[in-house]
Every structure is written in structure tokens, then in C-alpha cells.
Amino acid sequence: MSYPLRPLLFALDAERAHALTLKALSVRAKLPYPAAKPNPRLATRIGALSFANPLGVAAGLDKDGVAIEGLFGLGFGAVEMGTLTPVPQGGNPKPRLFRLVADRAVINRMGFNNGGLEAGLARARIAARGTGRLGINVGANKDATDRVADYVAGVSAAAPIADYVTINISSPNTPGLRDLQHGAALDELLAACTGARGDTPLFLKVAPDLDAAAVDGVVRAAIGNRIDAIIMGNTTISRPALRSAQAGETGGLSGAPLAALARQRLADVRGASGGAIALIAAGGIDSGAEAYARIRAGASLVQVYSALVFEGPGLARRILHDLDRLLARDGFTDVAQAVAA
């Protein structure tokens, strides 16, 4: 479905359009809009943390927390800002963000560009959340000499402010970052971060490019270190059949072509964990039917990003409307009942 501003935004460079969208959302937050009525059927939870609905904004859309209130105003039950690094960094050279319109996809090689923890957390601290949950996604600086220390700094600073904190080791755009998804390096990282979080739920975001053995290792490490949820996943460096001219750009691919891989990896994580840890699905979710399928496959929450580029600001309410209808059709009184059902 198109939306009125799409032709204008698509006439602009993708990163410029992104910046204008965030600006518009920050302005929207200052305008009076009626809040959506709570719908008990859409409620879900991860551990002790309840969510008014299971639809979240994935990290990367609002890296610095400039549009938190505007995003909640669109109807999302959770907004995950970031990735924030301890020190501000500019990211990779431009151009670094590409729309693949024919594929309903995006390729990015942003490289954790952000204004740093201090500035981002200052915005998060004062943002009105209503019934929404604010996640803060943290990462390591590109030039970090001790990446574990960077993550610990992020977790300890964000935990008193966030409803949950996400350890992001899934980005393909910071050299060597994905190495932290394996073996002793992963255990060391998770143990250190768990010690820094206090009582705040801690999530782990991993890549959909992991193979079955790596998925097993991630699940064992996450459960062993008392991580509350696994987010599967981020962008992929694989390239399914694509039609757009920009298909050869380097970076992570997101959007519709990622859906099949994301579904498979969600199933892999669910199979490896046997339901012992909560799961959050991301990648190629663009409809209520797709969100519902991921929930039935084991996800307690779902996250969107690229679909917003193509579907516009009405996406959240459309997904939630259709999700409510599907839950009612199948006799579920809330989302939590439908997870892996």
C-alpha cells in the first residue's frame, strides 16, 4: 500500500528521506492525537515485562531517540532506539543506504552512526512512553580496543532508563562484530553484561546468517547467562534473487526478501531452545498475517523497520487490526496464548 508522501520521499536520497521522516515524527509528537484504546487481546509479555501489543520498531530506525514519542503515537507497543555506542561516531562513508523498490527491500552499510550514549540517553530519559515500552540497543565503537567494555558501559548506562536493553552483535557493518556471536567470546560478553544490568531485562540480537551449530551455541550461551530474550535477527549479507539495480551494493539486506530466511532462523532458535527463552522476530514482517505467523512460530514480539519505508505511518495500526482479527478467529484471548501455539 502506498501513502501520500511516498512519491516525494522516494524522489530523495534514501538517507535524506530517513532524516526528514524522523523530523516529521518528532514534530508529530507535539501535536494532540487521541491515544489508541487498549486491546487486551493484543497484550503479551516477556518474563515480568508486559507489552500493550506485540508490535515493535526495530533498532536502526531511530538511532538517537529523536522520534520516540512520535513512533509510540503511531501505535507501536515498543520502540527500540539505537544502536548507541559509548562515543559518538559518524559511521561509514555515504552513500550507505539504498532502497530496492522493486524488491521492497533496503540495503544499508551505516556502521553504527550515532551521537553517542550520553546524548541518546538524555533524550530517552525525558521521552513520554505512555503504555509503550522503550528498548535501548547498545553496541561497540568501531575503533574500540575492548569491545566487551564498550558493551558493559552501554548496558550499565542504559539499564536505569530503559524498559529493556539489547546487546547488538548482529550488524554486518562493523568489522569483526559478528565474531562475538560465537564460543568463548559470546560467553564472556554475556556474563559481563548480565553483571551490569541490575534488574533490567536484557535481550540479545543476533544475525540471521548463523548456521545451525552457531544457533545452538547462541541459545546455550543466552540461557546460561540469564538473557531474557533473543532477537532473531538483523539484516543479512546473503542475496536472494533481487531485481533492483542496487542489489549489488555491499551491506545488510532487509525487507521482504529476508522473510524466508528470518522464518527459518526463528524456527531454528525455537527448536534449539525448546521454549526456554523468549523470542522476538524481525525481518520481512510487513502485514498482520506475517506477524501472526511469527507469533505462532514462537515469537512473543515482532519488530518492523523496512516495511515502514514502503507502507508508511499507517503500518502499525493496519498490522494490529489484522492481528486482532486473526487472534479472535482462532480463539485466543491474548497474544501470549498464541505464542508457539
Q: Residue 34 — very low, low, confident or very high, per pLDDT cuts 50/70/90?
A: low
Residue 288 lies in a domain: yes
**What tens digit of pLDDT does each residue of 35-67 get?**
678 899 999 999 999 999 999 999 999 999 999
Q: Residue 32 — very low, low, confident or very high, per pLDDT cuts 50/70/90?
A: low
- Provide the whole-model pTM: 0.97
How does DSSP assign 301-325, residue by residue? Answer: EEEESHHHHHH-TTHHHHHHHHHHH
Residue 88 lies in a domain: yes
Residue 224 sits in a domain whose CATH number is 3.20.20.70
28 or 63, which is more confident: 63
Question: Would you say 99 and 254 are in contact if contact means Cβ atoms under 8 Å apart?
Answer: no
Expressed as residue numbers, the domain containing 58 is 6-338
Judge whether residue 33 has pLDDT over 90: no
Question: Would you say 88 and 115 are in contact if contact means Cβ atoms under 8 Å apart?
Answer: yes
Cell of 10: 522516494
Residue 1 lies in a domain: no
Question: Would you say 121 and 152 are in contact if contact means Cβ atoms under 8 Å apart?
Answer: no
Counting the structural domains of the chain, the total is 1
Look at residue 36 in the predicted model and tell me its pLDDT. Answer: 73
Look at residue 29 in the predicted model and tell me its pLDDT. Answer: 72
Mean of the per-residue pLDDT values of the chain: 96
Active-site hit among 156, 170, 171, 287? 171
Judge whether residue 162 has pLDDT over 90: yes
Question: Would you say 201 and 237 are in contact if contact means Cβ atoms under 8 Å apart?
Answer: no
| Residue 171 among the catalytic residues | yes
Residue 196 lies in a domain: yes
Judge whether residue 264 has pLDDT over 80: yes
